[in-house]
Chain A
């Protein structure tokens, strides 16, 4: 019986990019490119089984061992701190976590800063590292609208090109950190499927560092 390495990929553009990286490294699975609604694809010859999941869920699948390895953004890892190994920086899906506000916003240091974000932990860690008291407002989408409507003073969000910010008259004021896609592994799977996981890590790692 083939022992498969189960790989969770984030649905969407990043996942497709990452898949082609894995395929180039020798872990292809041609059925994945067929147009259909299947979610699980396997290639017995290479011993890999891919599946598409919601990007923010990849870490959950890996931490609980439903996937042996997976690819997800550093933002998710920082936000949820899952118990996993972070084996590689894939240097793709690059963007940054940043603070943005309305162009005309002037900070009032006499009261807590109102921060709207999807990334509650990252925002809290950042502001406590600089000693600023904040009032956190957790939102799940369309974060940019919060400062426009006066719901918050600033937002903490992912910025890729900055177009969305510009179109909404917002400016980036501070960069919190750079974000990119990471290869993560379940700690127990790493022990029991070590050879295969190391093989994947090394081949993909080599490709990534050659592209630099």
Chain B
């Protein structure tokens, strides 16, 4: 098939690129039903980005929901076989409240999930695919990686009550050193423990540097070793430059554990990719396997500026009543075959933006020198 990616808009182009990327690494597409029993979402409300769900009553009286999320459905539908991994990707429309509008929107979401036994290689493969996904969208992109086990250790050392932990995590996500200091010191945490946590916030950037700071700061053990392995695997695959260690990436600790990450693309104001390891969600839903995955929020692409081309067509070809349809058709064919886009019409329309204007003389297009 003759395929011209130029006619796709950026969202379609990206979806096409992501699909072929995921297929290449052995992930297969997962299609799901548009509706799901509401029950599933109620039990795992905090896992959802927004807890508003569109519901309706099915003919048998069951309360159903228009799906606000894909991961939960995939987890529920998966068979519990840790030894045979399930590698899936999806490209679905989901319905949820988005942004400040407080209205439901239909959002295009693409993502990838790996359900099974998770080892260092699997995590690095998913991180690598996250990097590749970001590059498919733009060369100028960055992946922030954090490790919730490291964060958990630092927060637990403070010895605070559970309700304060949530507050601290919120501030961690805001890189809000001053509020963490306020909250922790008024709750009686020791200065050195607070310092250890705020040092984590200040680590953000170059992975090698971050790991050496972690080691100097007395963070050690499996989590740091794991991070080191991931970084070296990413380096080996040529992604080191776009990766940063940043502990302000905090997903809900009730569902996520270990590696979590967030991707940014220059020109788009919020994170376009988000993911992590969610063994805890699996356990909550009665599965023995671990899991890791991410979602790409392609609706954000429309927020990137100047997506539209400056011109509608390359050539505006004008003909008049005396022109024969054969001549027009020949001229259009000659132009399109030389790789130009053409709009043949009788009147010079002021709304159309073109690079060059040509007038049909006989069966030939004669260009003006007017360049608009």
- The yes or no verdict on A and B being binding partners is yes
Contact A63 B178 (CB under 8 A): no
CB neighbors of B among A147-205 (8 A): 185-189, 191-192, 194
Contact A191 B264 (CB under 8 A): yes
The answer, yes or no, to whether B269 is at the interface (CB within 8 Å) is: yes
The answer, yes or no, to whether A84 is at the interface (CB within 8 Å) is: yes
Question: Count of chain B residues with Cβ under 8 Å from any Cβ of A?
Answer: 23
The answer, yes or no, to whether A16 is at the interface (CB within 8 Å) is: no
Q: Which of B171, B174, B270 contacts A188 (CB 8 A)?
A: B270
Contact B269 A191 (CB under 8 A): no
Q: Which of B142, B178, B179 contacts A191 (CB 8 A)?
A: B142
Complex Cα gap A191–B272 (Å)? 13
The answer, yes or no, to whether A120 is at the interface (CB within 8 Å) is: no
- Which residues of the other chain, A, contact B142 by a CB distance below 8 angstroms? 191-192
- Which residues of the other chain, B, contact A189 by a CB distance below 8 angstroms? 269
Q: Which of A64, A83, A89, A187 contacts B178 (CB 8 A)?
A: A89
Question: Count of chain A residues with Cβ under 8 Å from any Cβ of B?
Answer: 19
Contact A192 B140 (CB under 8 A): yes
Question: What residue of chain A has the Cβ atom nearest to residue B100's Cβ?
Answer: A80
Whether A63 contacts B269 in the complex (CB less than 8 A), given A85-B175, A194-B205, comes out as yes
Query: Which B residues are within 8 Å of any A CB, using their own CB?
Result: 100, 140, 142, 144, 171, 174-176, 178-179, 204-205, 244, 248, 264-271, 303
11 A-B pairs besides A65-B268, A65-B269, A188-B265 with CB distance below 8 A are A65-B267, A80-B100, A87-B175, A89-B178, A185-B175, A187-B269, A187-B271, A188-B264, A188-B269, A191-B264, A192-B266
Query: Which A residues are within 8 Å of any B CB, using their own CB?
Result: 63-65, 80, 83-89, 185-189, 191-192, 194
Enumerate the 8 nearest inter-chain pairs by beta-carbon distance, A residue then B residue, closest first: A65-B269, A89-B178, A86-B176, A85-B175, A86-B174, A191-B142, A188-B264, A191-B264
A-B contact pairs, 21 of them (CB 8 A): A63-B269, A63-B270, A65-B267, A84-B174, A85-B174, A86-B171, A86-B175, A87-B176, A88-B178, A187-B264, A187-B270, A188-B265, A188-B266, A188-B268, A188-B271, A189-B269, A191-B144, A192-B140, A192-B264, A192-B266, A194-B205
